Structures are given as structure tokens and as C-alpha cells.
């Protein structure tokens, strides 16, 4: 199931800030700057890349916990990169450190936990 998951695996994700990702549009504020929920989503994409790439095709991971600090504002048009690094594996729980940068500086950091699931079992449970 998760033999390939190990401490040190890294995932990355990238975006360019658009109006659709602003605090005003996403409802997390009134300004046209990169929204915290958008940053968290990009960090989680990086985490999925780190974890799920090491899983068998019958398994996936789901996010179960996130603790993030948004450190700096980013305007529309800037590129954002996010990185997630696996720091601890405890059975089906995988903990990661996540960070995000714009073109100037680090804009966010924190931790994220994902849980490894059997896709078929997970979907069966949803149907009940």
C-alpha cells in the first residue's frame, strides 16, 4: 500500500495569482490579493503530489489536518510556488511541512496531515 512513502519525499505545485484566487472573490477578505484559502489549496496540491505519487493505484490520500500561517500579501499576476515535504510516517498517517513563496518572499508555512485510504472502501462507505 504505502511502501514507497518515506520521510524526505517532496511535492511541488505552482500557480499565477488570478482574480479568481483573490480574497475578495473567495470571500476571505475584501482585497484583491492572493487569498489564504487559495494558498492552502496550492500547499495541499503539493502534499498530494508528494504522497500519492508513492502509493499503489488502489490507494489515495485525504487531508485530515492543516495548520497554516499566511505571512505576506501577494498581488494578482505574481507566480506562487508551494512545496510539501514528508516529515513523519505513522502507519496510514503522513505528516508534511508545507511552504509557499511568491516572487519576493516566503508567504506561508505550516503543517499538513494526510491519511492513506483504500479508494474502493472509501467510495463504498460514501454510498452507504
Handedness of CA 45, 68, 95, 117 (dihedral sign): negative
pLDDT score at 2: 59
Helix (H, G, I), strand (E, B) or coil at 40: helix
Domain that holds residue 114: 10-127
pLDDT score at 128: 85
How many distinct structural domains can be found in the chain? 1
pLDDT score at 33: 98
Please tell me the pTM assigned to this model.
0.94
* Residue 54, in any domain of the structure: yes
* Residue 3, in any domain of the structure: no
What CA–CA distance (Å, rounded) separates 127 from 8?
36
Q: Under a CB-based contact definition with an 8 Å cutoff, are residues 117 and 60 in contact?
A: yes
Closest CA to 45 of 87, 89, 3, 80: 80
CATH code at position 103: 3.10.129.10
Helix (H, G, I), strand (E, B) or coil at 45: helix
* Residue 4, in any domain of the structure: no
pLDDT tens digits for the chain (128 residues)?
556 899 999 999 999 999 999 999 999 999 999 999 999 999 999 999 999 999 999 999 999 999 999 999 999 999 999 999 999 999 999 999 999 999 999 999 999 999 999 999 999 999 98
* Residue 116, in any domain of the structure: yes
* Residue 5, in any domain of the structure: no
Question: CB 106: neighbour CB atoms within 10 A?
Answer: 11
Grid cell locating 8: 524526505
What CA–CA distance (Å, rounded) separates 19 from 16?
10
pLDDT score at 4: 87
Q: Under a CB-based contact definition with an 8 Å cutoff, are residues 98 and 65 in contact?
A: no
Grid cell locating 104: 519576493
What CA–CA distance (Å, rounded) separates 123 from 128?
9
Amino acid at each position: 500500500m504505502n511502501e514507497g512513502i518515506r520521510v524526505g519525499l517532496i511535492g511541488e505545485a505552482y500557480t499565477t495569482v488570478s482574480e479568481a484566487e483573490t480574497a475578495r472573490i473567495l470571500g476571505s477578505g475584501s482585497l484583491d490579493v492572493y487569498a489564504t484559502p487559495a494558498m492552502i489549496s496550492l500547499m495541499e496540491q503539493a502534499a498530494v503530489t508528494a504522497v500519492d505519487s508513492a502509493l499503489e493505484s488502489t490507494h489515495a490520500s485525504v487531508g485530515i489536518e492543516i495548520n497554516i500561517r499566511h505571512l505576506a500579501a501577494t498581488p494578482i499576476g505574481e507566480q506562487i510556488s508551494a512545496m510539501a515535504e514528508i516529515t513523519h510516517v505513522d502507519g496510514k498517517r503522513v505528516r508534511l511541512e508545507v511552504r509557499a513563496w511568491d516572487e519576493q518572499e516566503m508567504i506561508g508555512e505550516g503543517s499538513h496531515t494526510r491519511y492513506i485510504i483504500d479508494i474502493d472502501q472509501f467510495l463504498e462507505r460514501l454510498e452507504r
